[in-house]
Structure 1
Amino acid sequence: MPNFLEVIIRSIISIVVLLFLTRLMGKRQLSQITFFDYVVGITIGSLAAFISSDLEANWLHGFTSLFIWALIPILFGYLALKNKKFNDIVEGNATVLIKDGKIMEENLKKERYAGEELLEQLRLKNVFSVADVEFAVLEQNGEVSVLLKKDKQPLTPSDLQMKPAPVKEAQTVILDGKIMLEPLKAAGLSVRWLHTALDKIGVSLDNVYLGQVDSYGQLYVDLYNDNITVPTPQELPLVLATLKKCQADLESFALETTDQKVKQEYEMNAKALQQVIEQVTPYLQQK
């Protein structure tokens, strides 16, 4: 067999085996892997390259070594799930670097972590003052997790005793000028509705690269022609304006009627609707 043909065959087999082994080893983002995972990955890649190109080496021995390097981490991962001490040995422990705004110098030395590196990691998380940090931990994968002090944390709806409206995943209903029927169905909408929405903003389907429907039923489009300005969706402001008009009409009816019972009913409903408007206004105002 010619050498170049053998290299091709070995490379194809190596790629297939690597794909199988990586699927077997599980999914982890690059930022989540530990140093041990990193070393194992490099070694497995080197072995695969060695098997593909070194024609003098026994390919069976190479694949045996490849499988061992892949299966041992899988075994370690299984044992780490079952035994906390074994997990500490293999994965290591998280290390506290800052506590109550105070840098733990001994822990920095233990992890061979320079002070400038710590400040850099804090800046990457938009933290520029150590005094603002309640807790900072060096995780097993080398990432620094930061918890700000309570008075330095951004306000959340729960802090303001507000209950935000539930937000669903935006559905991509148009991609590359083609209607995506399954996402459109998941959004509870029809093709007819989509064409009507496009007509409202004066856009043709073949000029739309991407179209998404948010949880409020508003259609956002990105066009092939960037020189065309797409009108901002007006559904939410229109709903708010309609509610305000209804409330104003109820107050007007209350002033016009002479029947006291009907007048009280109009006033009560106008007041109730006003409370509803105050609650939904933050969600219906145009951003």
Structure 2
Amino acid sequence: MPQWLDVALRSISFLVVLFVITKIIGKRQISQLSFFEYITGITIGSIAAEVSTVRERSVVDGLIAIIVWGLIPLLAGYLALKSKSIRGVIDGKSTIFIKDGKVLEDNLKKEKYTIDELLSLLRKKDIFSIADVEYAVLEQDGSLNALLKKDKRPLTRSDLQLTPINEKEPHTIIMDGRLLHDALAESGKTKEWLNEQLETAGVSLENVFIGQINAYGELHVDLFDDLLQPAAPQERPLLLANLKKFVADMESFALATDCPKTKKMYATNAKAVQMIIQKTKPYLQT
């Protein structure tokens, strides 16, 4: 067998093996490598490269080595789930860098971090003043999480004592000009509704690069042709306009009637709807 063909076959074979091993180990091997997993990944890659290019190396020996090194993270992960002490050894422990607004210099030295590196990590969190930080911790994967002081945090609905809103996740129902029927069914919408929305926007299904249904049940589309601008959804502005018209009608009816009971009913309903408008106006405006 020619050398180039042997190397190509070895490389393809080990690529498949590495793909399978990575799938078995799990996504964490890719997204959040611990120090232990980092060493394992480098070693497996080195073994695969060595056996792929050096014809004198046995393919069987290489496969055995890769399987053994692939099983090690699985075993270590299982032991880490069962024991907190083992988990601390394998994954490491988080280190507090800032507590009660004060920098812990000893912990910085322990992790071999300088103050410049700490400031750099804070800037990546959009924090430019260390005086704004109440608490900061270096996680096992090397990322820094910081808690701002109370007066430096953005306002939330709970701070304003407003009713919490649970938004639903968006559903991608169109991709590359093709309708995703399962996603459309999960969104609770029908194909007839979609056709009506596309017609209102003045676009066809084939021209849509990606289409999503947002938390308000509206269709947002991005077209292949960036020069075209589809019509914006009008459901929320139309609902707001109808609510305002309802209030105006109730007030008009209250002025037109001479019956005190009826006049009071119209005024009460107008006031109730007006309160609803005040609460929902930020969400109904586009």
Shorter-chain TM-score: what band? over 0.9
Rounded Cα–Cα distance in structure 2 between residues aligned with 1:229 and 1:263: 47
Q: Match for residue 105 of structure 2?
A: 105
Residue by residue over 1:221-279, the C-alpha shift from the partner in whole angstroms, topping out at 9 and shown as x without a partner, is 11222222223222111101101111111111111111122122112211221222222
Distance apart, 1:75 and its partner CA: 1.1
Structure 1 residue runs of 5 or longer lacking an equivalent are none
Q: What's the secondary structure of 2:216's corresponding residue?
A: coil
Q: Match for residue 221 of structure 1?
A: 221
Matches within 5 A, 1:20-59: 20-28=20-28, 30=30, 32-59=32-59
One-letter code of the match for 1:196?
A: E
One-letter code of the match for 2:155?
A: L
Distance apart, 1:113 and its partner CA: 0.8
Q: Match for residue 128 of structure 2?
A: 128
Q: Is the 8 A contact 1:95 1:139 kept in 2?
A: yes
Rounded Cα–Cα distance in structure 2 between residues aligned with 1:57 and 1:201: 63
One-letter code of the match for 2:220?
A: Y
Rounded Cα–Cα distance in structure 1 between residues aligned with 2:73 and 2:224: 48
Q: Match for residue 151 of structure 1?
A: 151
Distance apart, 1:136 and its partner CA: 0.8
Bigger drift between 191-200 and 41-50 goes to 191-200
One-letter code of the match for 1:51?
A: V
Matches within 5 A, 1:154-173: 154-173=154-173
Q: Match for residue 90 of structure 1?
A: 90
Rounded Cα–Cα distance in structure 1 between residues aligned with 2:135 and 2:275: 41
Structure 1 residues 63, 204: CA separation in 2 closer, same or farther (over 3 Å shift)?
closer
Distance apart, 1:22 and its partner CA: 1.1
Q: Match for residue 8 of structure 1?
A: 8
Q: Is the 8 A contact 1:157 1:163 kept in 2?
A: yes
Distance apart, 1:211 and its partner CA: 1.8
Matches within 5 A, 1:40-79: 40-79=40-79
Q: Match for residue 198 of structure 1?
A: 198
Q: TM-score, normalised by structure 2?
A: 0.94
Structure 1 residues 30, 97: CA separation in 2 closer, same or farther (over 3 Å shift)?
farther
Q: Match for residue 183 of structure 1?
A: 183
Query: May I ask how many residue pairs the two structures share in their alignment?
Result: 286
Q: Match for residue 234 of structure 1?
A: 234
One-letter code of the match for 1:180?
A: L
Spell out structure 1 runs of 4+ moving beyond 6 A: none
Q: TM-score, normalised by structure 1?
A: 0.93
Bigger drift between 47-56 and 228-237 goes to 228-237
Q: Match for residue 80 of structure 2?
A: 80
Q: Is the 8 A contact 1:212 1:221 kept in 2?
A: yes
The alignment yields a C-alpha RMSD, in angstroms, of 1.7
Distance apart, 1:31 and its partner CA: 5.1
Structure 2 residue runs of 5 or longer lacking an equivalent are none
**Matched-pair identity in %:** 51
Bigger drift between 96-105 and 210-219 goes to 210-219
Q: Is the 8 A contact 1:31 1:141 kept in 2?
A: no
One-letter code of the match for 1:207?
A: N
Rounded Cα–Cα distance in structure 2 between residues aligned with 1:82 and 1:157: 39
One-letter code of the match for 1:77?
A: G
Distance apart, 1:41 and its partner CA: 0.7
Q: What's the secondary structure of 2:226's corresponding residue?
A: coil
Bigger drift between 193-202 and 103-112 goes to 193-202
Q: Match for residue 17 of structure 1?
A: 17
Residue by residue over 1:75-118, the C-alpha shift from the partner in whole angstroms, topping out at 9 and shown as x without a partner, is 11111111111111111111111112211111111111111111
Q: Is the 8 A contact 1:51 1:63 kept in 2?
A: no
Distance apart, 1:5 and its partner CA: 3.2
One-letter code of the match for 2:51?
A: I
